Chains A and B, each alone.
Chain A
Amino acid sequence: MKRLLVLLLLVVLSFSLLGAKDISLKIIQVFSSPERTKILENIIADFEALNPGVTIELISPPYETAIPKVNLMMSTEQELDIVEVSDWLLSGLVSMGKLESLEPYIAASTELDYLVDGVLKSARVMNDTAYIMPNAVYVKTLFYRPDIFARFNLKNPPSTMGEMMAYARYITNGKDQFGFDWRGIDPVNFMDLVVTSFFDDIDPECMYKTVDGKLIFEDPRALEGLNFYLDLYFNTSPKDSINWGFDDQVNSFVSGITPILFQDPDTTGLLNNLLTDGAYKTAALPTGPGGKAYPTFGFAGWGIPTFSKNKEMAWKFIEFFNRPENGAYFCREYGALPVDKRVYEIDPYFSSDIFAGWAQMFAHPETYPMTEYPIDNPAWGDWFRFQGDIQERLLLKRLTPEKALQEFSKFWRDAGLMH
């Protein structure tokens, strides 16, 4: 009888202990895809196993509705403890005042000593404060199809812009074989990568400025770069690609119509699924006449809403997520660059051929200096649409490149980039 009582007491005690610790976290991601959701769920399950009494619910809105949804949820303070913030969302959420500064947590953490250079810097783009902890990095590199190249006796990937143009022209027959995989819709990064490669003095803090503080669009080298970029379309890309978004780009690359593509690492997840092993590889971005190429850190990270009731636990999860084994799993399966240096050591995948492009760029920062977009500028969202419209008019020859550059510089002057 006594034994039973003790047992009963123990059970009650343990229940009440568990009950007291019961925490449920809500996380929302912005780059949902069925695969990514599965990967995150697995990491969450591990975290829950390590932390009894904690349950995590993952919210995965469809990719194209995620941004308005996060904005609305945050502004009306829906129950949320961790919010994934993309570079598109950051400035809005910060000026809304709904993101907690993570600085105190970062200062107290010992887990963050191995962050890849530049990650924290790009996280601090708003008010010099880190409101998010990047969970992965996105840098564009050159994807190419060795099998298609081989058909034309091309052995190596192009290493300069000039070479890339020559390759692309050489293989283009204007009917079912083209060179460069053009991006029509939301072309921001694509155009900029080519245009800035004609410079050698881009401001590391702002892609649209030179180190001496001038707007690149007012520099004659921008005109050269823009003309070169347009030549790629007119001579080596399908006419139809003026209307292409991500999906069409991938479709065209996979079918071999355009074997030269600039893209983010998350493309690898899909390509591994659609192509046989070795049918695609990556190489560093081709350098321009300036002898350089300027990649940017695209990033997304976890933030904690100011109105969360479980901030400590939320941070605990964020730290857990960035542990090298989790970072490796997430980045390998989903296709992104890890933010923790140790990942590159523990997982051979990140030194495989598929990662050759990024490895080379990171190993030679003098040739591939990182720069940043002015995403803290409120006009940033508008810029996507604006640059896309101008590009369309350029491709339709309704606008001269000279006039286009004037429009660009006017846009950024009006947006106060020069102050």
Chain B
Amino acid sequence: MNRKKGLFIFLMLVPTFSVIGFLTIYPTIKGFILAFQNYTVFTFGRVRFIGWDNFAKIFSDPEFLNIVWNTVVWISVSVFFQLVLGLGLALLMRKPFKGRGIYAGLVFYPWALSGFAIGLLWSWLLNGQFGIVNDVLVRLGLIKDNIQFLSNPDTAMFSVLLVNIWYGIPFFAIMSLAALQSIPKSVYEAAQIDGAGGFKQLVSITLPYIRPTLINTILLRVIWVMNFPDVIYGMTRGGPAGSTEILSTYMINIVYYKNDFSRASAVGVLIVLFLLVYTIFYLRISGGKELEL
């Protein structure tokens, strides 16, 4: 590698990576340190290192395993249905039709809303006593009694998942649509000559072609869904009876109710570890070198 090329690479990378270093990496290191201290509003000015105490407290929380399980369910079910339905929607919208632009605007708008607004809005819509969803379902004769979407621990997770899927479909649809459009028409023409049917084309051409995009999108999406508690927080705050508590809502609740910034940071460290382990496995399984978007 000659010096000129090295300098070029360096200069091109400097802006992005210095911004990340300054705004993300440095505070992250500080946050990791915080996780081993006892920083709360009550210890201000007397903050000291307390080793693994914060982690011990988290692991000894009787709800901890439940929270981890909820987190796994939250991520895997959300991302799976977001992917399948988003990709499905993209395939359906792929062929141009009249008014496609307007249709896209009408179905993709959730992507442009903030998570907290979505959480609040849906908790209002899904209210088990005076919510409009129940009202509509009863009027249509689909149900006899109101469904306690958010107040019954057996349906609460289902309800927040439904909303999160609703929220995430547009993202996958947009990404897939963009990827689908980049498949050269000639590939399909060749397949048609060979007499391949629609389904076969999907499996043997379309999916392999957009596979790299999907692999990346899924990886990123899992990370985001994990770190994005807004929808759950707006709807149930992790309740009832902890039935929708995931690691990231747990973290917020520790900040809000216990004012314990150190223990919250320890949960944050666990989240990072959790995602690191996941990413390593995921890249192994999906063939890591294909990383691209």
Contact = CB atoms under 8 A, between A and B. Distances in A.
Nearest to A96: B44
B128 A396 contact: no
A134 interface: no
B146 interface: yes
Where chain A touches its partner, the secondary structure class is: helix
Contacts, number: 84
Interface residues of A, number: 37
B45 A392 contact: no
A92 to B, nearest CB: 3
Given A243-B240, A385-B253, A95 B151 contact: no
A242 B240 CA distance: 7
Interface in A231-271: 238-243, 247-248, 251-252, 255, 257
B32 interface: no
B227 interface: no
A241 B269 CA distance: 35
A67 interface: yes
Interface string B111-141: 0000000000001100111100000000000
B41 interface: yes
Interface string B6-32: 000000000000000000000000000
Most chain-B Cβ atoms within 10 A of its Cβ — which of A239, A243, A398?
Answer: A243
Given A243-B150, A248-B127, A251-B130, A185 B237 contact: yes
A240 B146 contact: yes
Contacts of A239: 128, 148, 151-152
B128 A240 contact: yes
B78 to A, nearest CB: 20
B45 A238 contact: no
A97 B44 contact: yes
B257 to A, nearest CB: 4
B45 A96 contact: yes
Nearest to A174: B145
A401 interface: no
Contact of A243 (B42, B44, B146, B239): B239
Contact of A381 (B130, B151, B236, B259): B259
Nearest to B145: A175
Contacts of B41: 71, 75, 92-93, 95-96
Interface in A375-398: 378, 381-382, 384-385, 388-389, 392-393, 395-396, 398
18 contacts: A92-B42, A95-B44, A97-B44, A178-B129, A238-B128, A239-B148, A240-B150, A243-B156, A251-B130, A252-B130, A257-B129, A257-B130, A378-B42, A382-B257, A385-B258, A395-B240, A396-B241, A398-B241
Interface of A: 67-68, 71, 75, 91-93, 95-97, 178, 184-185, 238-243, 247-248, 251-252, 255, 257, 378, 381-382, 384-385, 388-389, 392-393, 395-396, 398
